[in-house]
Amino acid sequence: MSNILKKDAFILPDGVIYLDGNSLGPMPKAVSARVQSMLTDEWGEMLIRGWNGAGWMDQPSRVGDQVARIIGAPQGTVVMGDTLSLKVFQALAAAIKMVPDRRVILSDTGNFPSDLYMAEGLVGLLEQGYELRTVDPEDVLGAVDNTVAVVMLTQVDYRTGRMHDIKAITQAVQSQGAVMLWDLAHSAGAVEVDLAGSKCEFAIGCTYKYLNGGPGAPAFIYVRGDLADTVQPALSGWLGHRKPFDFEMKYKAGAGIERMRVGTPPVIQLTALEVAMELWEDVDMAQLRAASVELQEQFIAQVERDVPSLTLASPRDSAQRGSQVSFRFHEGYAAMQAVIDRGVIGDFRAPDIMRFGFTPMYLDSGDISAAVAIIADVMNNDLWDVDKYKVRSKVT
């Protein structure tokens, strides 16, 4: 697996074991120089000429093709831009137009709240009897009926790592005449994804987690190729127009995936992401997944052996789990702060989840053993039971 472990390609502070790449990936070393070059040589020297001369205008599609490779999507079906929440709204709005005689958006209680918030906002905007319906994750398939227009699910649960079967669920949803929308925020760069094979209509995801695009890195949207020329973008932005520089007064959707562009590309962020994506050019996702599972299994076994106060919250079967492992503890926030204070960085999710991410591009077996030793010291000696660790920060 020589093409998987690339620890030397990342900036990793001394004395830190980073188990939070599922929330924000570390910075690849090559990013700084490339972004500086973009600022100095492109923006600085070329000024507005950079849109043509430096290829800024084509960047959303170019980087989209890089992302497409690791989520099993054909070239030309993924485009970058905007935030994940906007892409949720954009995909969901386009999806419900495909089934105009139905009024239900179905999701599950394990979905990331922002996805549900965006759906609530869309429902409120449309009125006309639309509703958002949520059920327990295991009850999704039984809830799909002839009232459901769109099923919107996140493949990997952000709290526990529980993982849906994309292909099986998509087939079942489509057999009921509904449209499938997948959120790959915790999947892209973490697990094997085969969007083309699944035949789902839409997918969206972010790039600042496992893809290491940096804080605020742009999101992506996928539209199945046979639909790309017919979907109707609700966010009909300037750069989704067929000929934006004709400055026509009426919107005419662009060709294919280009119509899902909205506003001006975030060139600085896209430049950082484009460099980060170069690390994936020789990565086999099956090998990466196998390495991730191996690290997770080691972590679970050692924590359960050495830290009896923690209770596994993630599925025990690795086939049902993404690339993270979560444990429950009644004072999980304070415990995680104490662990972080000693150099093992994970994060906390309410109400009681201590969450750890496993990225074999920069983690190895030695890191896992060292991390568990620190966690055991904190938990077994109640080192978390200090007032300063119980004060909640804005970001947990």
Catalytic positions are: 112, 183, 208-209, 355
What residues contact residue 152 under an 8 Å CB cut-off, 6+ apart?
88, 92, 95, 105, 106, 107, 111, 115, 119, 181, 183
Q: Which amino acid is at 255?
A: A
Element (H, E) at 344: strand 344-345
Encoding tokens for residue 48?
A: 């507005």
Up-side HSE of residue 246: CA atoms within 13 Å toward CB? 10
Dist. CA 367–CA 363, nearest whole Å? 6
Encoding tokens for residue 134?
A: 């949520």
Inter-residue contact 40 to 395 (CB < 8 Å): no
What residues contact residue 324 under an 8 Å CB cut-off, 6+ apart?
22, 156, 161, 186, 296, 314, 355, 356, 357, 358
Dist. CA 358–CA 362, nearest whole Å? 9
Inter-residue contact 200 to 170 (CB < 8 Å): yes
**Rounded to the nearest 10 degrees, what angle do helices 267-277 and 29-37 cross at?**
140
Q: What pairs with residue 156 in β-bridges?
A: 163
Which of 345, 331, 327 shows the shortest CA–CA distance to 159? 327
Question: What is the chain's length?
Answer: 396
SS3 374: helix
Q: Which amino acid is at 89?
A: F
Element (H, E) at 91: helix 84-97
Q: What is the DSSP letter of 253?
A: B
Encoding tokens for residue 78?
A: 């993924």
